[in-house]
Structure 1
Amino acid sequence: MSNIFWSFRGPLLANFFLMIILLIGACSDGSNPPTFDSHTSQLLQNTLDTSLATLGVPGAAVTIIRPDGAKWVGVSGLSSIENNTPMVPGLKFRIGSLTKTMTAVVALQLVQEGPLSLDASVESILPGVVPNGANITVRQLLNMTSGLFNYTDDVPIFMTTEITSGVLHNWAPSDLLAIANAHPVYFAPGEGWHYSNTNYILLGLIIEKVTGNTFTQEVTSRIINHLGLNNTSIPTSSDMPPGSTQGYFWYAGTRYNSTKADPSFGWSAGNAISNNDDLAVFLTAVINGSLLDQQRNTDMFTFVNDHGVVTQGDDAIYGLGLYYFSPGWLGHSGDFIFGGQASLYGYNGWMFIVQTNASPPNPIEGVHNGADYIWSTLVTALGLPI
Structure 2
Amino acid sequence: MAASSLGQTTEINWDKLDKTKFYVVGAGIFTGVTVALYPMSVIKTRLQVATKDTVEKSASSVIRGILKTDGVPGLYRGFGTVVTGAIPTRIIFLTALETTKAAAFKMVEPFKFSEPSQAALANGIAGMSASLCSQAVFVPIDVISQKLMVQGYSGHEKYNGGLDVARKIIRTDGIRGFYRGFGLSVMTYSPSSAVWWASYGSSQRIIWRLLGQGTDREGAGPSESTIMLVQAAGGIIAGATASCITTPLDTIKTRLQVMSLERRSSARQVVKSLIKDDGWTGFYRGLGPRFFSMSAWGTTMILAYEYLSTGSFSFTNICFLDNEITNLRILTLLFSDFGVSKNNVVCKSLTAFHNLPLIFLLVPLAPFGTP
Give me the TM-score of the superposition, normalised by structure 1: 0.26
Q: Larger % of strand: which?
A: 1
